[in-house]
Amino acid sequence: MSAFHVTRLLPEDATAAALRADVQQGLTSVPKTLPPKWFYDAHGSDLFEQITALPEYYPTRAEREILLARAGEIAAELPARTLVELGSGSSAKTRHLIDALTGLRTYVPVDVSESALTQAGEALTAERPGLDVHALIADFTAGLRLPATPGPRLVAFLGGTIGNLLPAERSAFLAAVRALLSPGDALLLGTDLVKDEAVLVRAYDDAAGVTAAFNRNVLTVVNRELGADFDPDTFEHVALWDAGNEWIEMRLRSSVAQTVKVPALGLAVDFAAGEALRTEVSAKFRKEGVRAELASSGLELARWWTDTEGRFALSLSVAG
């Protein structure tokens, strides 16, 4: 029989406290920033699902192609009995892995959204008799304790989300993942790859304007949750390629000089005309760079798979 459990590792008020802290720090920094995790309220999540279906946005399709083609090889390399997924969301892509891992006993999805975890967990236990789902409501970037589950364990971090972390944050994250792994465990990591600048920029600035709406949605979240008075229509969506850092930056550029008030924080924030607020960094990777970052955290790159066009990679690394 399947079993479904949810364990809350975040305090009930953790999300509200984190938003307040991030907005306070970000809007008083130079340059101003807001973290991309605040895109994803219900509306933002719906917009992102629309983005993944756009012709310009290749990462989701490319990663799905690899999973469909290589799930059997991944399972053969590491016949995991426990699959841990960080930032699991709807767990849609992970079903390919779950099907391939014939000896899988436990799936541990980790996400901050209780509703997403509950919906995915209930569906999986209904579809797959014998699979235990132990969901964790947790922020995987803030330290994580895993439940006692049978090994070997495969930790999956998909979608290229690691690219949203700055280099120092990536180093800390990979070290924390390494600390979760026992001998015989492994990390399956999704990384978007460096490619032609025009292809990259189009993926973050689509012709239909869906990504622009997604970007501006962060202002709507701050307005709703903290009583701010951002006028999203006065902020222009900008996506640009930083060749030095090899990352895409998404920004919101104020089209006018204005002062934005955030009553919940007692803030009045001045924007000059043309001043930009950075909302996302999305780093792109090369194989040797991924190998080096993994090695510095005590992980050894064992396998590397790309889609047929070489746009995206899944890598399997083991504790060194």
For residue range 130-157, list pLDDT tens digits in order. 899 999 998 887 778 899 999 999 999 9
Confidence at residue 114, expressed as pLDDT on a 0 to 100 scale:
82
Q: Which of 114-118, 262-266, 290-294 has the lowest mean pLDDT?
A: 114-118
Which of 107, 159, 158 lies closest to 136 in space, CA to CA? 107
Confidence at residue 106, expressed as pLDDT on a 0 to 100 scale:
96
Give the predicted TM-score (pTM) of the model: 0.93
Residue 72: other Cβ atoms inside 10 A: 14
Helix, strand, coil in percent for the chain, rounding step 5: 40, 30, 30
* Cβ–Cβ under 8 Å, residues 7 and 135: yes
Distances (CA, A) of 123 to 10, 103, 127: 23, 19, 6
Local structure of residue 265 (DSSP, 8 states): G
Locate the DSSP E strands across the chain.
3-8, 32-33, 82-86, 106-111, 132-137, 153-157, 186-192, 235-242, 247-254, 258-262, 267-271, 276-283, 299-306, 312-319
Phi/psi at 31 (5° precision): -75, 165
Q: To the nearest whole percent, how much of the chain has pLDDT over 70?
A: 99
Confidence at residue 45, expressed as pLDDT on a 0 to 100 scale:
86
Distances (CA, A) of 289 to 105, 286, 295: 34, 5, 10
Gap between the Cα atoms of 298 and 95, Å rounded: 28
Gap between the Cα atoms of 260 and 225, Å rounded: 15
Which of 181, 177, 188 lies closest to 143 in space, CA to CA? 177
Strand partners, 241: 248
Place 250 in a pLDDT band, splitting at 50, 70 and 90: very high
